[in-house]
Structure 1
Amino acid sequence: MRGVLWASWWRTRSRELAQAWRRIRYRSEVRFPVITRLAERMIAVNIFDSATRVAAQVLLTVVPLLFVVASLAPRALQEQLTSSLRALFGLTGESGEQLDEFFAGTDEDVQHAVGAVGSVMVLLSATAVSRAVQRLCRRAWGIPRGAARIAVWRWVVWIAVWTGLLVVQGPVRDGFGTGLWLGIPLTFLLQTAAWWWTQHLLLGGAIGWWPLLPGALLSAVAVTALSLGARLYMPLALNRVLGEFGAFGSVFVLLSWLIVLCVAIAIGLSTGAVLAQEPYLADRLGSPVRDPGSGAP
């Protein structure tokens, strides 16, 4: 008898909670319609799928590109790239030694193995990241496929500029020798400028500069925060898996971190696009109140 009463009470309570939740959601949607639009945009963007695609392309195409760049670059630039990668992932101990071995002695070996034609092919294959980021930006703004025509040179320029930005990550994060008190603001400003320019370039100017700023700011906040967290998490995780599983384990750790990073960027760009299209900001930024396209791609 007690069990029957308990089941009846629980069903009644569950219905009451469900009704209360529906009332709260309805009131929230009425008072804060941006929440509904943001949820719809997140679903349209397909955050985790888009972020995973970008992360996978980075791992599969950018890493070989960095390998080729390091082999062809002067020794000073190669050392700067190694230092920046070490600062970016907070590599110390065994993981730092693995990075040094990765770039050690690659000059002649890679130059002979790859050559000029191979280097061009590696660069072109790396533009897969550009295309993946372009699709993410287009979905974040609800621009349908084909509405924004993108020239191939934009993909090449994007990957080339971001490779250059990667080289200077070390000095910027260190505040050019002054420490994190300057390095954190500089990282934030650099990331803001990079993602602001990225959206404008890969959208082909379909959206004006100012409407793109909220997404750039939110993405920069996410990247800066995660870069600080990487200094604590990545060395421990990489050194542990290197000891247990060898170099293959580090691939999974790196991919997991890249997915988290890309998810944060995707959320930042999508949220910024929705906020920029709200009436209050749209009037001040000159952005469209409604989606610039007729539907999601």
Structure 2
Amino acid sequence: MSEQPPERRPPRPDRPATRRTDRWKQRSTALAGTARELPHQVPLVGRALRQLFRVNLLDCATRLAAQAFLSALPALFVISVFTPAAIRDGLVHSLRKELGLQGAAAQSVQQLLGTSHHEDTSFGVIGALVTLLSATALSRAMQRVCERCWELPKSGTRVAAWRWLVWLLVWLVCLVCQTPVRDGFGLGAWLGVPLTFLGATALWWWTQHLLLGNRVRWLPLLPGAVLCGVAVVGVGVASRVYLPSAMSRSIGQFGPYGVVFTSLSWLIVVFTGVTLAIALGRVVSEEEVVAEFLGSRTEPGRWGGKRA
């Protein structure tokens, strides 16, 4: 008795879910192909991506945030001990606003900055000087970021040492004055936002020129400074909305350590924006139209400034 061939079933029609999955796969493949071709079609995008990979954005931002948290903020606390009460109150208000500190966390910062050590003034002054000098680690890290963005060799210590201290002092003063400026000196955000943008642009324009040791002329540094101003304003607006609730949740979950976790995360976001702005500013300054306007059409790494 011969075997019957297996009965063939007619093909089942495609299900709607399968068709949708195929369409999404086709779209994702098309988008991936477009993304791969975009750097070739738009040279600015390709240069920007190469710059970000070379600078190593997140690594630089994390190092800057760690140095700011471990050295610069303690220096700010120590200096506040020797400053008048008005400046100390302004510092507390600025930290409370910028970090979204409320309740017990705000009281802890108030007590920390409100303490004074008049019993041993000599030791206090020496400790403040040591803390301030160690805080220049942030300045050195920022200088390395600027040099990496502009592909410049490392400056000599004798050339850069005084610049580290000057930049740190100016940065700390700007941090104390940041909240009144953002509030428009009591007149509101309509004045505070433009003032914050202009102040941040001026600060980071000067920062690049100072830490690069005058090796890059002023005008090529302007695009990065403008982008830094935009980044500072954007992060500031976002922090006013997000940080208070995030800080409250973190303190409720981790106790006092929540202030550390949230503050460090906020610093990483801030320095990511700044590093991104400086890195892309160099790319923008090399664009043909911008370079023609700024007078910066020279070969990369040679910008008409002094060499260290």
TM range (shorter): 0.7 to 0.9
Kindly state the Cα deviation for residue 181 of structure 1 after the two structures are TM-superposed: 1.3
Partner residue, 2:61: 51
Say which is worse superposed, 46-55 or 246-255, in terms of deviation: 246-255
Kindly state the Cα deviation for residue 51 of structure 1 after the two structures are TM-superposed: 0.4
Partner residue, 1:138: 147
Distance change >3 Å, CA 113–CA 60, structure 1 → 2: farther
Kindly state the Cα deviation for residue 149 of structure 1 after the two structures are TM-superposed: 8.1
Kindly state the Cα deviation for residue 23 of structure 1 after the two structures are TM-superposed: 6.0
Kindly state the Cα deviation for residue 132 of structure 1 after the two structures are TM-superposed: 0.5
Larger of the two Rg values belongs to structure: 2
Structure 1: state its 5+ residue gaps.
Answer: none
1:229-266 deviation line (CA, Å, top 9, x unaligned): 11122111222222332221210110011001111111
Task: Return the alpha-carbon distance in structure 2 between the equivalents of residues 42 and 72 of structure 1.
Answer: 41
Task: Return the alpha-carbon distance in structure 2 between the equivalents of residues 87 and 30 of structure 1.
Answer: 44
Task: Return the alpha-carbon distance in structure 2 between the equivalents of residues 181 and 115 of structure 1.
Answer: 42
Partner residue, 1:72: 82
Are the aligned partners of 1:148 and 1:206 in contact in 2 as well (CA < 8 Å)? no
Matched, 1:103 2:113: yes
Are the aligned partners of 1:62 and 1:126 in contact in 2 as well (CA < 8 Å)? yes
Matched, 1:174 2:183: yes
Distance change >3 Å, CA 149–CA 34, structure 1 → 2: farther
Distance change >3 Å, CA 146–CA 114, structure 1 → 2: same
Kindly state the Cα deviation for residue 25 of structure 1 after the two structures are TM-superposed: 3.0
SS of the counterpart of 1:151? helix
Kindly state the Cα deviation for residue 118 of structure 1 after the two structures are TM-superposed: 1.7
Are the aligned partners of 2:204 and 2:228 in contact in 1 as well (CA < 8 Å)? yes
Structure 2: state its 5+ residue gaps.
Answer: 1-8, 303-308
Distance change >3 Å, CA 94–CA 17, structure 1 → 2: closer
Matched, 1:246 2:255: yes
Distance change >3 Å, CA 197–CA 88, structure 1 → 2: same
Kindly state the Cα deviation for residue 286 of structure 1 after the two structures are TM-superposed: 2.0
1:84-103 deviation line (CA, Å, top 9, x unaligned): 22222233333322321221
Are the aligned partners of 2:39 and 2:46 in contact in 1 as well (CA < 8 Å)? yes
Kindly state the Cα deviation for residue 219 of structure 1 after the two structures are TM-superposed: 1.2
Which of 7, 14, 36 is the equivalent residue of 1:25?
36
Matched, 1:157 2:166: yes
Are the aligned partners of 1:149 and 1:204 in contact in 2 as well (CA < 8 Å)? no
Partner residue, 2:197: 188
Are the aligned partners of 2:286 and 2:297 in contact in 1 as well (CA < 8 Å)? yes
TM-score, length basis structure 1: 0.87
Kindly state the Cα deviation for residue 64 of structure 1 after the two structures are TM-superposed: 1.2
Task: Return the alpha-carbon distance in structure 2 between the equivalents of residues 20 and 263 of structure 1.
Answer: 27
Distance change >3 Å, CA 107–CA 229, structure 1 → 2: farther
Task: Return the alpha-carbon distance in structure 2 between the equivalents of residues 282 and 291 of structure 1.
Answer: 12
Task: Return the alpha-carbon distance in structure 2 between the equivalents of residues 200 and 108 of structure 1.
Answer: 39
Q: What is the root-mean-square deviation of aligned Cα atoms in Å?
A: 2.9
1:62-84 deviation line (CA, Å, top 9, x unaligned): 12101111101111111111122
Partner residue, 1:265: 274
Are the aligned partners of 1:45 and 1:270 in contact in 2 as well (CA < 8 Å)? yes
- 1:105-120 to 2 correspondences below 5 Å: 105-108=115-118, 114-120=123-129
TM-score, length basis structure 2: 0.84
